[in-house]
Chain A
């Protein structure tokens, strides 16, 4: 395609992408503080007689003591296994009977809970959701059974080369920082976990002032606030001292970690520390990474390594932006024999991002995708709920869609170059390769 046609197309797009992408001026939802201090984000939607509830509780891995790796996730996993009023079988029996879904899971920055029910079953759903969060009893037999299951699951994951590579990478980049906890750390702790640890963690972290609840669907503001005030009444917590957070190690040079496994492909994970969600350069980094390896088939990594060389089915990069700086990661799989070539090409592309500005067309393409695809990020109840919770958790504001689009649209070629020079460090990489090492013959 020639240059003129390119430019014309962008002019044309710029005219109507924004309005098409935004429902201009419409806020995402409404923010309400409930009687017990819990923050409610509400988006009423009456197209379907169903309700989606999404919760985030500040009870993630960063809040567990350093000598109890996995405690936060384990606590979350146990909530559905029994409360004062119900055992685990009753909880699953009740939610399954109404054709709904209820889940609770751990995370690094926060724990999550979610509920999906028909509008007519909302009371049953909220009764279950509030019960598992407020009244878990952590019976010994459920703890023992869940420990056994988790240890078996950790063992099972050892047969996934990708997981083995991720684990080694996580350790290399984050060390003893909470983001660096691995299956191995968790397995060692689970063998000596005490019921008291779980009870104490739940008591300290699970409470309304630590929780965001998002409701999307067929409810009214009055109806849902009344219900939530009723079901979450009397919920409280007793905050304890927050754990000291260990610093992540400094990466002063590129290091190779090779792990031997009898497999046909080298699983490559490489990268270094990245940015936090609060970093003002976040939006520039999104655009920069899109061009490097985040933009699916149009990214440089995909174009070079998959399309031109046929070396991989998938190759991509991402910045995991959290409360604290997460990782910058490039992942790919290629036959053992191609590992060296693939790693060299990834490093070459990282350096190219830092040395020369991206082209006008690359920047325009990246921006038009990131902005134009925004409606697809909000096209189901669950996706709307996810964005609302995220926006509140990271303090981004309910006019987030508009701000997001403005920030992306303002990014220039110079910004992208500066972001690449600031946030890509091809000379300070942790490179993990899980492969049949005899065939991969790694050199660096």
Chain B
């Protein structure tokens, strides 16, 4: 994200996956324009606001070593002007109209949004259709913005011991797949990026046939759709984007990575390779995530934090809304006086129980109730609804979102035990440990 959060997507996905959504029809109108642009419209009239989002199917997954971080730097440059609206104008125009705007980049997508009072929606169409084609990519602006991104990297990763450990452990988990590098890019790669790299990236991926528009809020579909066609319909279809192709080979043994640096408390992190949301096992894995990690009644908190008091925090995180298979992680912060070794053992003990004993009826029902409540509560925010639609559509199909609650409902105790045995194996695991070094005097 260019201002608030360029969230490590592992963390972002986990948050969203744990607040699941919609059961039956979402009342979304889907339209595909002749140039390939997909448009998803959902009317929501409970507040006089609207969110406009455009999702490009490009992220760090579409990069290569030596040039990592390109998608995210390009996201920043998207605010640096077109022929029609010069540098600095985009956000100023939006704000002048009472809107908030921002963008975020992940491994699988780059998305831009504006939130407005409902009557301002046409402004988004004007501005976003313009910058899909006419970005300036001014060379001076590029150099200055690259410095901004380097500051962002220093703040989020280089000066944050936990993030830098997770960044390195993730790199160790993937040998052959682009999920190995961070969305923000390696520092040396940022220095290596040129204005022409970005221009090429922009030409290749910022096309109508590689994008999805999502609008949720207080509008009339019948009136809005023709306007979207008017602004975006005239943009010519681009070439098909080059396939990524990379496939991570099966892991055949535990990998361990240790980061030693100045820090206060040790942290243990273990990631297991798991399938993404297109796989039928993803529902059982999502339930399992709830059992391990959703709320203070969940197993990791109760065991490691509440009962044994060996961890300051503990949780699990299933990264399922991804294009290619990613990780199911469990993690814990080590209490002073305790060791990473005993915390790591306690994490695995909880995982072993899942394999050897069925979960209780009450636990299973709890996770299903949480999924159903989440479906209703998610509708309180137009932004969040649009975000889920955009994510699902970008990595698979928004229609999977309509099946989510039913998928969760159908999970049995046997399913949970089976997926625990299938995926939570030692040889399928990458472990990261942060070992604090004392302060330099």
**Of A61-69, A93-101, A191-199, A350-358, the one touching chain B:** A93-101
Known: A149-B312, A152-B265, A298-B95. A92 touches B377 (CB 8 A): no
**Residue from B92, B98, B263 in contact with A17 in the complex, judged by beta carbons closer than 8 Å:** B98
Interface residues of A in 308-336 (CB under 8 A from B): 308-314, 333-335
B373 contacts partner chain A, Cβ-Cβ < 8 Å: yes
Q: Closest approach, in angstroms, between the C-beta of A432 and any C-beta of chain B?
A: 16
Q: Is the CB of A369 within 8 A of B376?
A: no
Tell me the minimal C-beta distance from A178 to chain B in angstroms.
27
A395 within 8 A of partner (CB): no
Q: Is A263 an interface residue, CB under 8 A from the partner? A: yes
Contacts of A369 in B (CB 8 A): 95-96, 98
Give A95 to B370 CA distance when docked, in angstroms. Answer: 10
Given the known interface contacts A155-B336, A297-B3, A382-B380, the answer about A373 and B366 at a Cβ–Cβ threshold of 8 Å is no
- Cβ–Cβ contact A158 & B47, under 8 A: no
| Highest count of chain B CB atoms <10 Å: which of A17, A265, A308, A372 | A372
CB proximity of A430 to chain B, nearest CB, Å:
22
Residues of chain B within 8 A (CB-CB) of A49 are 376
The verdict on A118 contacting chain B, using a C-beta distance below 8 Å, is yes
Q: Which residues of A contact B439 (CB under 8 A)?
A: 262
Q: Kindly provide the distance from the CB of B305 to the nearest chain A CB, expressed in whole angstroms.
A: 8
Assembly CA distance A379 to B309 (angstroms): 40
Whether A88 contacts B335 by the Cβ 8 Å rule is no
Q: Which residues B178-200 have CB closer than 8 A to chain A?
A: none
Q: Are A368 and B96 in contact (CB under 8 A)?
A: yes
Interface string of B47-68 (1 = CB under 8 A from A): 1110000000000000000000
Other-chain residue from B143, B312, B379 in contact with A152 (beta carbon distance below 8 A): B312
- Nearest CB in chain B to that of A151: its residue: B336
A379's contact among B97, B371, B382, by CB below 8 Å, is which? B382
B344 in contact (CB, < 8 A) = no
- Asked if residues B376 and A379 are in contact (CB atoms below 8 Å), the reply is no
Partner of B98, one of A151, A159, A311, A376: A376
Which residues of B sit under 8 angstroms from A89, Cβ to Cβ? 297, 302, 306
Q: Is B46 positioned at the interface, with any CB of A under 8 Å from its CB?
A: yes
**In the assembled complex, B147 has its CB within 8 A of some CB on chain A:** yes
Cβ < 8 Å to A, chain B residues 115-171: 115-120, 143-152, 154-155, 158-161
Cα–Cα, bound, A314→B5 (Å): 11
Query: What residue in chain A is nearest B157 (Cβ atoms)?
Result: A264
State in angstroms the CA–CA spacing of A116 and B366 once bound together.
Answer: 16
Contact between B265 and A156 (Cβ–Cβ < 8 Å)?
yes
Q: Does A426 contact B (CB under 8 A)?
A: no
B100 at the interface (CB under 8 A from A): yes
- Residue B221 interfacial (CB < 8 Å): no
Determine whether the beta carbon of A335 is less than 8 Å from that of B306: no
Question: B310-335 toward A: CB 8 Å interface, digit per residue (1/0)?
Answer: 00100000000000000000000101
Provided the pairs A50-B377, A116-B377 are in contact, do residues A375 and B309 lie with their beta carbons within 8 angstroms? Answer: no
Name the 4 nearest CB pairs between A and B, nearest first: A372-B98, A99-B373, A310-B147, A92-B296
Point out residues on B near A: beta carbons under 8 Å: 3, 46-49, 79, 87-89, 91-92, 95-100, 115-120, 143-152, 154-155, 158-161, 262-265, 294-298, 302, 305-306, 309, 312, 333, 335-336, 362, 365-366, 369-374, 376-377, 379-382, 439-440
Task: List 10 A-B residue pairs with CB atoms under 8 Å apart, sorted by A's residue number.
Answer: A20-B119, A88-B296, A88-B306, A97-B297, A99-B369, A156-B312, A297-B79, A333-B154, A365-B96, A372-B120
